Amino acid sequence: MKEYRVKPGSSLHLDTYDPDDTGEYKNTHQGKEKAKATTVRLIGRLEKLQERLYANGDRALLIVLQGMDSSGKDGTIKSVMSGVNPQGCKVVSFKVPSSEELSHDFLWRVHKKAPSKGEIGIFNRSHYEDVLITRVHKLISDKVVKQRFARIKDFEELLYENGTIVLKFFLHISKDEQKKRLEERIRDPEKRWKFNEGDLEERKLWKNYMCGFEDAIAATSTDHAPWYIVPANRKWYRNLVVADRVVQALEDMKLKTPPAPAGVNFDTLKIV
């Protein structure tokens, strides 16, 4: 499995990352099935690790998913987190800020939604929208963008210092793949509810968004809150990469099952 991790302080050019990449798994029926089988095993491991995370209640995991429209944020959550207990997992999607949210700093609404200890939190879009959409549409200046990069790094470092591991995934699809997926939404009556004419307008700004993502990812990928560029043209490989990184992050926590209550002899305990 390739790392796909963006090294802190490195420059970033998304056109050097192949969205069709499938790593060591060939894009064949056999390779696809092998990858899916590996993903199933990882999801099973994730289920057990999440139970330990919840039981211990002293750490948390925040997963940030970003990408262009139709890059597969919803699909990633549905597939990778399919074995997770909903009681210990929270998904948040950040829409256009309300008037109350706009009256505070841009991170105010985000910090409130960070996962509690024992939880896995998933941001389907996130605080990075405030340095992407706002920048592409020229709602903020480049000076403010750089200031926000610094505040985001501070915010994520604060989460880390308080026991929250932060993983950030950019789901990297090609413009041609996006076109294909948007057309599928139009053709399929079961998927038309997802279609938004605004997606077509944002698609016209593709290059601007790519530049915005490059700057944001390069400026905010750190040792304690790394970014991963996930090839996402092949949904089965996208799921594998994300599942692998999430499981590894939980494994690195070295989670153990909490000890049983003291003073209880479970060998002689009887329930009547």
Return the CATH number at 246: 3.40.50.300
Q: Is 130 exposed, middle or buried (0-12, 13-18, 19+ CB in 10 A)?
A: buried
Question: How many residues are present in the chain?
Answer: 272
Residue range 37-77, pLDDT digits in tens: 999 999 999 999 999 999 999 999 999 999 999 999 999 99
> In whole angstroms, how far apart are CA 196 and each of 35, 65, 191, 201?
32, 20, 11, 10
Residue 43 within any structural domain of the chain: yes
The pTM of this model reads 0.94
Residue range 226-257, pLDDT digits in tens: 999 999 999 999 999 999 999 999 999 999 98
Residue 262 within any structural domain of the chain: no
Confidence (pLDDT) at 259: 83
Look at residue 1 and tell me whether its pLDDT is greater than 70. no
Residue range 190-216, pLDDT digits in tens: 888 888 888 899 999 999 999 999 999
Residue 245 within any structural domain of the chain: yes
The number of domains in the chain is 1
Residue 269 within any structural domain of the chain: no
Confidence (pLDDT) at 128: 97
Residue 268 within any structural domain of the chain: no
Residue 257 within any structural domain of the chain: no
The domain of 207 spans: 14-252
* CA separation for the pair 240, 68 (Å, rounded): 19
Residue 218 within any structural domain of the chain: yes
Other CB atoms within a 10 A radius of the CB of residue 119 amount to 21
Residue range 115-156, pLDDT digits in tens: 999 999 999 999 999 999 999 999 999 999 999 999 999 999
Which residue type does 14 have?
L
Confidence (pLDDT) at 160: 97
